[in-house]
Amino acid sequence: MSVPIGIHDLSFATTEFVLPHAALAEYNGTDIGKYHVGIGQESMSVPAADEDIVTMGAAAAAPVIARHGTSRIRTVVFATESSIDQAKSAGVYVHSLLGLQPACRVVELKQACYGATAALQFAIGLVRRDLAQQVLVIASDVSKYELDSPGEATQGAAAVAMLVGADPALVRIEEPSGLFTADVMDFWRPNYREAALVDGQESINAYLQAVEGTWKDYAEQDGYPLEEFAAFVYHQPFTKMAYKAHRHLLDFCGTATDEDAIARALGQTTAYNTVIGNSYTASVYLGLAALLDQADDLTGRPVGLLSYGSGSVAEFFAGTVVAGYRGHLRTAANHEAIARRTPVDYVGYRALHERSFPADGGDHRAPAQTTGPFRLAGISGHKRLYEAR
């Protein structure tokens, strides 16, 4: 029998500031129900001027390092679609901030919101080659759309760090995986743009197409039948999309869409995304954290995970929750990461949204705003400068 491999530890971090959707609704005259009910969002995390994917990624990973040390980590895989450099991995900065050993490979992966699942699967392959090693997977993103655009209300920011290893303490990742790829222009961000472009209806259609495609492939490989899953965790560009996706899956499988059953299958997976917003690559794993933190005992129960990345690539797979997992959760820290955020008014949010460093290669310091453990100190000679607080 093969040694189980999966998620040994999971930690997340988000930003210094939070914008309540009530403030956005007041500014643009939208009925708050469009946000709270229509898309299922209550607030969005907003990065401080000295926060980015590196500071969030390092903050998410630091508790993992504190608990487990660095000696077994020989690979860091950083997944993001908010990359800060076309050549250098954001993970290299994190490697430095966390003091990881030099004998370590560090890479960055990109495929829209799907990248972290690719990183997780790659990590499992590396561990299978050498069961003594562990892989640090980091998913970190800032979701950013044009001001006053339809996508503005779905923004957010967060990072998830997962330690992947043999005999995991939280979730055993199972085979098979259902896979799907289609060339779709539903969401994209050219190199010359800071904000993403999105075709909202096309994106929903592409997501639902991917739900069908991944499940079809998963079922053809004799994965778990639908009724055996204790819960389903979906990528959540907005939380109501998870419900739309699950209803579509049930319809595709010819299963009754009982609303109470849907609520039981998904209800505990959306708590963190509802108040953080879309965190792209981190989103589905924030959903997993929310489920593990809130659910009754899931020991031995399979959980279905659907990871979707626009463009589009998707994967459906199962993770079985292992005995004793509750003793390894970070529930209090997760709640604190959300509660510690300082509310910002719409004017303050707008200023942060529009702020960027000059591209002239000069010395530009970042205002000291974050109270988190790491900050982006500034840019000098086109080089980003990070520091621990």
pLDDT tens, position by position, 221-265 = 999 999 999 999 999 999 999 999 999 999 999 998 889 999 999
Residues 247 and 303 in one domain: yes
Q: Which of 307, 324, 341 is the last residue of a domain?
A: 324
Confidence of residue 85 (pLDDT cuts 50, 70, 90): very high
Q: With 0-12 CB in 10 A as exposed, 13-18 as middle and 19+ as buried, what is 119? A: buried
Q: Which of 275, 297, 324 is the last residue of a domain?
A: 324
Q: Is this model's pTM higher than 0.95 or not?
A: yes
Q: Rounded CA gap, 217 and 180, in Å?
A: 8
Residues 224 and 359 in one domain: no
Query: What pLDDT, on a 0 to 100 scale, did the predictor assign at position 198?
Result: 85
Domain with 164 in it: 5-171+329-388
Q: What Rg value do the Cα atoms of the chain yield, rounded?
A: 20
Which of these, 304, 161, 311, 168, lies nearest to 227 by C-alpha position?
304
Residues 313 and 343 in one domain: no
Q: Rounded CA gap, 357 and 34, in Å?
A: 34
Amino acid found at 21: H
Domain count, the chain: 2
Residues 29 and 143 in one domain: yes
Phi, psi of 260 (to 5 degrees): -65, -40
Residues 318 and 335 in one domain: no
pLDDT at residue 1 tops 70: no
Contacts of 296 (CB under 8 A, 6+ apart): none
Which of 8, 113, 248, 353 is labelled catalytic? Answer: 113
pLDDT tens, position by position, 154-168 = 999 999 999 999 999
C-alpha dist (Å) from residue 184 to 205, 206, 210, 215 = 10, 7, 11, 19
Q: Rounded CA gap, 182 and 339, in Å?
A: 39
Give 288-322 as a DSSP string: HHHHHHHSSP-TT-EEEEEEEETTTEEEEEEEEEP
Residues 120 and 226 in one domain: no
Which of these, 7, 6, 47, 51, lies nearest to 289 by C-alpha position?
7
Contacts of 62 (CB under 8 A, 6+ apart): 98, 373, 374
Residues 283 and 362 in one domain: no
Q: Which of 324, 355, 372 is the last residue of a domain?
A: 324
Q: Rounded CA gap, 129 and 126, in Å?
A: 5
Residues 145 and 178 in one domain: no
Query: What pLDDT, on a 0 to 100 scale, did the predictor assign at position 257?
Result: 82
Measure CA of the first residue to CA of the last residue in the chain; give whole Å.
46
Q: Rounded CA gap, 182 and 195, in Å?
A: 23
Which of 95, 235, 246, 353 is labelled catalytic? Answer: 235
382 is catalytic: no
Work out the percent of the chain whose per-residue pLDDT is above 90. Answer: 95
Which of 16, 81, 108, 315 is labelled catalytic? Answer: 81
Residues 164 and 182 in one domain: no
Residues 122 and 227 in one domain: no
Query: What pLDDT, on a 0 to 100 scale, did the predictor assign at position 269?
Result: 98
Q: What is the mean pLDDT of the chain?
A: 97
CATH code of 42's domain: 3.40.47.10
Query: What pLDDT, on a 0 to 100 scale, did the predictor assign at position 194?
Result: 86
Q: Rounded CA gap, 220 and 44, in Å?
A: 39
36 is catalytic: no
Work out the percent of the chain whose per-residue pLDDT is above 70. Answer: 100
Contacts of 384 (CB under 8 A, 6+ apart): 54, 84, 85, 93, 376
Query: What pLDDT, on a 0 to 100 scale, did the predictor assign at position 93?
Result: 98
Residues 375 and 255 in one domain: no
Residues 310 and 195 in one domain: yes
pLDDT tens, position by position, 55-72 = 999 999 999 999 999 999
pLDDT tens, position by position, 192-204 = 998 888 888 899 9
Amino acid found at 247: R
pLDDT tens, position by position, 260-317 = 999 999 999 999 999 999 999 999 999 999 999 999 999 999 999 999 999 999 999 9
235 is catalytic: yes
Under DSSP, the state recorded for 35 is I
